[in-house]
Amino acid sequence: MRLIGNKTKLLGQIESLLLDRGVEGGTLIDIFAGSSSVGKHFKRRGYKVLANDILPSCYAQAVAAVEVSRWPAYRKFSGRYRDALSSKDFIEGMHVQGDILEHDDGQESPRRAARRLPLARAVHYLNTCIEPVEGLVYRNYCPGGGADRRYFTDENGRRLDGVLGFLREGYREELFTRGEFYLLLSALVDAADRVANISGTYGAYLKNWQASAKKTLWLTLPEVIESSQRNRAYSEDANALVGRLKGDVLYLDPPYNQRQYAANYHVLDILSGYHLYDDLGKFEASLYGKTGLRPYDHLKSAYCVRRGRRRMKETNGSGVFGDVFSAMLDLVLSTKARNVLVSYNEEGLLTRDEIGVILARFSGSRSYDFDNDFREISYKRFRSDRDREENGDGAGRNYKVLDGRGKDELAEWLFFAAREGARVTS
């Protein structure tokens, strides 16, 4: 899943700051998990990971990538579709498509490779044995569907509807275990994301079809990161959840500007929540606006509300957090973890000093130790095709150039803080 703000490029820096400050191993709480890139990295390093995100699409990724820690058997599914799965055409098709070989680097023992087989079969079944249908996705997000939106080609919309219907039925009649189900769902969300006709986010679709959008929707074998830890995924408001989680490091990577993720990933969220909507007709009738949003007040984030604005008070159900500063302060002071690591962007709603003040309170110090606990990492701004289109001259949207920096040059910040007397973990 292509998520704006993912920290794939910062993993090394995050890990090295932790090591530098004497933290290695234990439990990491990734409470704004997004694409789960950070959770996955630390899971591979042997940490126990607790991943949380309020968005259904991010939650689906977190269950598949963080919580699932063994290759699943798909017993019920394999039993029900035995004839189809053992047919000559199906088996040959799997080899031709390479569905079974995706992660095979040639070094694996056949026994190890065989563990992937049940998942590979299920994925191939979704790719090749499901009838396309004209359903919610086709009607609302494809040009042929009448709503005049161009997120997916008609063919891909029908394929998505077919697989969604199959997964929804399977979920409802418990054809899959939780892990089995979310692996397939996350593979579908990833596949949809690869053929979506967007540039950057789902806040808009493109008028013309991108080459990638014209490709046929095709699920690939999701990776299972094996682990002996009891990793878990949650989907709650971070502030409501944080006090219930035990861990060594609380990693915080909240949104840093006023753009609500819920309005920018709604299409993937709808795919991810499809199995849960009791009344699909009623849900479909609630879709609105140019981009087919679903009502999303319950998913709005206080971290996107500028300090001093209190609009969020009643909207997220927990009713506590007004704006970004009070939400961040509440979050940091509510954790039981001994260490906190914050990722933030210098263009964000909170200033460097405000984050320092919050972390100094957590550490019980008079001031934040910027010399030792802070890192600044510079990078080039991502510019979408839409940026360029909006300006019409190929020069892009007019972003402000920050003091002392070149055009498009920005910095990511990393802040570490430990409770007093908790500098080194066991």
Query: Does residue number 193 form part of the binding site for ligand SAM (CB under 6 A)?
Result: no
What does the CA dihedral 145, 149, 150, 154 come to, rounded to 10 degrees? Answer: -10
Distances (CA, A) of 284 to 133, 151, 270: 16, 16, 10
Which is closer to ligand SAM, CB of 30 or CB of 373?
A: 30
Query: Which of 3-11, 80-88, 128-136, 207-215 is the region at the interface with ligand SAM (rule: CB under 6 A)?
Result: 3-11
Q: Which tokens belong to 125?
A: 């079944």
Query: Does residue number 186 form part of the binding site for ligand SAM (CB under 6 A)?
Result: no
CA pair distance 184, 138, nearest whole angstrom: 20
Q: What residue spans of 335-374 are helical by DSSP H? A: 352-363, 370-373
What does the CA dihedral 107, 110, 116, 117 come to, rounded to 10 degrees? Answer: 140
Query: Which of 31-39, 224-232, 334-342, 417-425 is the region at the interface with ligand SAM (rule: CB under 6 A)?
Result: 31-39
| Residue nearest to ligand SAM as judged by C-beta position | 34
Query: Does residue number 203 form part of the binding site for ligand SAM (CB under 6 A)?
Result: no
Query: Does residue number 47 form part of the binding site for ligand SAM (CB under 6 A)?
Result: no
Q: Helix 88-97 vs helix 117-128: angle between axes, to the nearest 10 degrees? A: 100
Which is closer to ligand SAM, CB of 78 or CB of 384?
A: 384
Place of tokens 């408001």: 237
| CB hemisphere CA count around 175 (13 angstroms) | 17
Query: Does residue number 342 form part of the binding site for ligand SAM (CB under 6 A)?
Result: no
Shortest Å, Cβ 426 to ligand SAM: 26
Binding mask 54-73 for ligand SAM (x = CB under 6 A): xx--x---------------
**Nearest alpha-carbon partner for 302 in 315, 321, 317:** 321
Q: Hey, is 356 helix, strand or coil?
A: helix
Largest CA distance in the chain: 71
Query: Does residue number 363 form part of the binding site for ligand SAM (CB under 6 A)?
Result: no
Q: Which of 59, 202, 261, 374 binds ligand SAM (CB under 6 A)?
A: 261
Query: Which of 53-61, 112-120, 190-198, 200-208 is the region at the interface with ligand SAM (rule: CB under 6 A)?
Result: 53-61
Strands 249-252 and 374-380, sheet pairing: unpaired
Shortest Å, Cβ 14 to ligand SAM: 9
Q: Which of 14, 23, 29, 38 binds ligand SAM (CB under 6 A)?
A: 38
Query: Does residue number 5 form part of the binding site for ligand SAM (CB under 6 A)?
Result: yes
Shortest Å, Cβ 228 to ligand SAM: 24
Which is closer to ligand SAM, CB of 34 or CB of 203?
A: 34
Q: Which of 14, 17, 35, 312 binds ligand SAM (CB under 6 A)?
A: 35
**Nearest alpha-carbon partner for 81 in 127, 113, 129:** 129
Query: Which of 158-166, 250-258, 352-360, 398-406 is the region at the interface with ligand SAM (rule: CB under 6 A)?
Result: 250-258
Binding mask 397-426 for ligand SAM (x = CB under 6 A): ------------------------------
**Nearest alpha-carbon partner for 415 in 14, 30, 6, 5:** 14
Query: Does residue number 301 form part of the binding site for ligand SAM (CB under 6 A)?
Result: yes
* Phi then psi dihedrals of residue 286, to 5 deg: -85, -10
Distances (CA, A) of 81 to 24, 72, 84, 129, 395: 45, 16, 6, 10, 54
Interface ranges with ligand SAM (CB under 6 A) = 3, 5-7, 32, 34-35, 37-38, 52-55, 58, 237-238, 253-255, 261, 301, 303
